[in-house]
């Protein structure tokens, strides 16, 4: 399987059928997210003390979508390789859609008269800055909360279908698909925990996040799947699984500890009462090893996606390298924000936990 799998005979110029595919997908997300049952979860307290209630029905939405698509394929109403066959076209359509949405968010945000933290506009006067980073924290369009999740799993399944169709699916591809599927499903199983993450509580919604969720993550990170022709040995496969499992354990464990601590600061961590700095900052468990230990887990998971491709090409390692740069940049911004917010308490936490991401290294 080569890079031609997703780019094969795909036109960059959008077609109406390609637009229909994207609109059908986004329309389903909007309808399912708004009407399917799910647990209502109060988000983290914002700067004005308010909280947003989130309907956590992502797992049900995902399974229902897969069932609907599977039914469509079985009835020959659609091809399982429709996304793989239209790779560049769908990328160009989604890019155009992202530009449009970001512009709408900027215009409506600037006109907002809300004073609450969620919808209050933060306008600097620099159009590029405000359009890129966004001006509102949790904007809505037509009553739909714009917290997108991307089509990573659907693209992967389409690529895998193409591999099966071509007869070149191998152990490397299976490992990659398995790791990605677990990672994606896990996100929705623990969807509630995402309400206290940086993207939700601190990042305003502009082109950076819209483009990242709809274009960058779903399409560019699929380079791993497209360059996955290496025949993995059993020993390498076992080592690869260990990297994924360790990364997953650190990533999920750290995020879970942080979320539980915010809900109930007295909850024991690793069987012991939590160590808390200034009554606010957790310094136990994973958060006593490094100040952003969850980033370490995320990086190990990203590396496990690329390892099945071996060392014959640097292309599959674009994802973990990019993620490393992104998370170091984010960690620096988060450190500055926390230093300003917690002041002396943050300085004390840094003295107690000196490592930023990787203990004894960084």
Higher pLDDT among residues 12 and 31, named by residue: 31
pLDDT digits (tens, 9 = 90+) for 292-306: 999 999 999 999 988
Q: DSSP states of 63-75 as a string?
A: HHHHHHHHHHHHT
Is residue 195's pLDDT more than 80? no
Question: Cα-Cα-Cα-Cα dihedral of 5, 10, 16, 20, to 10°?
Answer: 10
pLDDT digits (tens, 9 = 90+) for 53-95: 888 888 898 899 999 999 999 998 888 888 878 777 888 888 9
Euclidean distance between the first and final Cα of the chain, in Å? 37
Q: How high is the pLDDT of residue 144?
A: 56
pTM of the model: 0.81
Using CA atoms of 132, 138, 141, 144 in order, give the dihedral in degrees to the nearest 10.
130
Report whether pLDDT(47) > 90: no
CB distance 6 to 159 below 8 Å: yes
Share of the chain above pLDDT 90, in %: 25
Residue 354 buriedness (CB in 10 A; 0-12 / 13-18 / 19+) = exposed
Confidence of residue 227 (pLDDT cuts 50, 70, 90): low
Q: Rounded CA gap, 300 and 319, in Å?
A: 11
Q: What is the largest CA-CA distance in the chain?
A: 63
Most confident of the ranges 203-217, 221-235, 274-288: 274-288
User: Mean pLDDT, to the nearest integer, of 4-29?
Assistant: 72
Mean pLDDT of 262-267: 87
Quickly state the pLDDT bin for 228 (edges 50, 70, 90): low
Per-residue pLDDT tens digits for 310-354:
777 787 788 889 889 989 998 998 899 899 988 999 999 999 999
Give, in order, the Cα–Cα distances in Å from 34 to each of 58, 98, 203, 204, 209: 11, 21, 22, 21, 21
Which residue would you say has higher pLDDT here, 223 or 242? 242
Whether the per-residue pLDDT at 185 is higher than 50: the answer is yes
Q: How far apart are CA 315 and CA 54, in angstroms?
A: 37
Alpha helix (H) ranges present in the chain? 4-7, 16-35, 58-74, 82-85, 87-111, 127-133, 152-166, 171-189, 198-201, 207-211, 223-226, 234-263, 293-306, 318-342, 344-352
d(CA 33, CA 107): 24
Mean pLDDT across the chain: 83
């Amino acid at each position: 399987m080569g890079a031609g799998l997703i780019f094969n005979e795909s036109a960059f110029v959008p077609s109406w059928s390609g637009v229909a595919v994207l609109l059908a997908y986004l329309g389903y997300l909007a309808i399912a997210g708004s009407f399917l049952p799910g647990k209502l979860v109060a988000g983290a307290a914002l700067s004005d003390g308010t909280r947003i209630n989130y309907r956590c029905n992502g797992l049900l939405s995902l399974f229902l979508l897969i069932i609907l698509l599977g039914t469509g394929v079985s009835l020959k109403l659609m091809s399982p390789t429709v996304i793989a066959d239209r790779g560049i076209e769908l990328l160009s359509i989604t890019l155009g859609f992202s530009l449009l949405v970001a512009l709408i968010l900027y215009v409506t945000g600037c006109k907002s008269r809300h004073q609450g933290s969620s919808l209050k506009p933060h306008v600097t006067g620099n159009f590029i800055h405000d359009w890129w980073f966004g001006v509102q924290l949790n904007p809505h369009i037509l009553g739909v909360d714009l917290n997108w999740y991307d089509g990573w799993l659907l693209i992967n399944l389409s690529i895998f279908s193409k591999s099966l169709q071509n007869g070149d699916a191998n152990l490397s591809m299976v490992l990659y698909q398995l790791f990605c599927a677990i990672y994606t499903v896990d996100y929705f199983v623990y969807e509630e925990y995402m309400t206290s993450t940086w993207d939700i509580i601190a990042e305003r919604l502009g082109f950076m996040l819209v483009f990242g969720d709809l274009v960058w993550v779903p399409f560019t990170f699929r380079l791993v799947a497209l360059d996955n022709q290496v025949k993995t040995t059993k020993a390498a496969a076992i080592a690869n699984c260990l990297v994924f499992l360790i990364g997953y354990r650190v990533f999920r464990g750290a995020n879970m500890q942080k979320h539980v601590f915010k809900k109930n600061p007295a909850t024991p961590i690793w069987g012991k009462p939590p160590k808390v700095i200034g009554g606010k900052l957790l310094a136990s468990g994973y958060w006593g090893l490094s100040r952003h230990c969850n980033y370490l887990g995320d990086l190990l998971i990203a590396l496990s996606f690329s390892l099945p491709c071996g060392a014959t090409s640097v292309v599959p390692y674009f994802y973990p390298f990019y993620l490393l740069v992104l998370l170091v940049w984010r960690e620096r911004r988060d450190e500055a924000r926390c230093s300003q917010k917690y002041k002396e308490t943050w300085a004390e936490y840094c003295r107690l936990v000196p490592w930023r991401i990787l203990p004894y290294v960084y």
